[in-house]
């Protein structure tokens, strides 16, 4: 997916009444400051891995335009590959072996993949009620992935699973005031990358720093 397509997806989240030129003119550094920090925990499902627990930390850097805030975040999870993915690995290995009798067995056992993501998000904020806001956002992520397993340790299979990938992230959620500067948050997130598609849900707390 090219950069133009990603930018278009972000713009679709904003009110249709804002013209393209006016929207860009609204961006400003004046509202950018370290305004909050939050932690969350939840679960993630994907097309290749088993369901896993995930955790994230996010820093809010304020409003870069009316109703639009910027956040930097880091998240982590580790999960085993699904049985169907392990079967594909094993079949690929069989295809590399020249065995006329066809009586050999390959069992690589459990293989895990860990994912550390650093992401920059832009979120459009809407007030839903007193002390309650919702958001829809889009952003870009960088993933550091590492494969592990007893049978693949030190092999080309492990090397193939290790690497860096980029992603387009889409998010939807909200927050409600718990105390004066403390908020309960909920965040649903879809991550589209070359090697993995995932959807996660996080619940947590965010502390808003008074300016």
The percent of residues in the chain predicted with pLDDT above 70, rounded, is 82
pLDDT of residue 36: 95
Query: What are the residue boundaries of the structural domains of the chain, listed by start?
Result: 3-12+42-208
Q: What are phi and psi of 152, to 5 degrees?
A: -100, 0
Q: Rounded to 5 degrees, what angle do the CA atoms 153, 156, 162 make?
A: 75
pLDDT in tens, 122-147: 999 999 999 899 999 999 999 999 99
User: Sign of the C-alpha dihedral, residues 189, 54, 207, 35?
Assistant: negative
Closest Cα to residue 126, out of 118, 141, 117, 136? Answer: 136
Q: How confident is the model at residue 27 (pLDDT cuts 50, 70, 90)?
A: low
Check pLDDT > 80 for residue 15. Answer: no
What's the mean pLDDT when you consider all of the chain?
Answer: 86
Burial class (CB in 10 A: 0-12, 13-18, 19+), 117: buried
Q: Where are the alpha helices (DSSP H) in 60-203?
A: 83-96, 156-161
pLDDT of residue 78: 97
3-12+42-208 is classed CATH 2.40.160.20 = yes
Check pLDDT > 80 for residue 1. Answer: no
Check pLDDT > 60 for residue 195. Answer: yes
pLDDT of residue 7: 41
Write the CA distances from 28 to 66, 95, 99, 165, integer angstroms.
9, 57, 66, 30
Contact of 186 with 203, CB cutoff 8 Å: yes
pLDDT of residue 187: 97
């Amino acid at each position: 997916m090219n950069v133009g397509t990603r930018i278009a997806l972000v713009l679709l989240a904003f009110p249709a009444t804002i013209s393209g030129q006016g929207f860009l003119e609204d961006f400003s550094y004046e509202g950018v400051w370290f305004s909050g920090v939050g932690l969350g925990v939840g679960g993630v499902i994907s097309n290749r891995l088993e369901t896993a627990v995930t955790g994230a930390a996010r820093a809010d850097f304020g409003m870069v335009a009316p109703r639009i805030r910027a956040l930097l975040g880091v998240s982590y999870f580790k999960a085993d590959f699904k049985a169907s993915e392990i079967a594909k690995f094993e079949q690929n290995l069989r295809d590399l072996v020249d065995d006329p009798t066809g009586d050999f067995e390959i069992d690589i056992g459990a293989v895990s993949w860990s994912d550390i993501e650093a992401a920059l998000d832009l979120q459009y904020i809407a007030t839903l009620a007193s002390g309650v806001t919702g958001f829809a956002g889009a952003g870009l992520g960088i993933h550091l992935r590492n494969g592990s397993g007893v049978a693949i340790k030190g092999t080309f299979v492990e090397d193939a699973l290790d690497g860096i990938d980029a992603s387009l992230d889409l998010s939807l959620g909200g927050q409600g005031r718990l105390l004066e500067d403390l908020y309960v948050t909920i965040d649903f997130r879809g991550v589209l990358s070359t090697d993995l598609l995932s959807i996660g849900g996080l619940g947590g707390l965010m502390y808003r720093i008074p300016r």
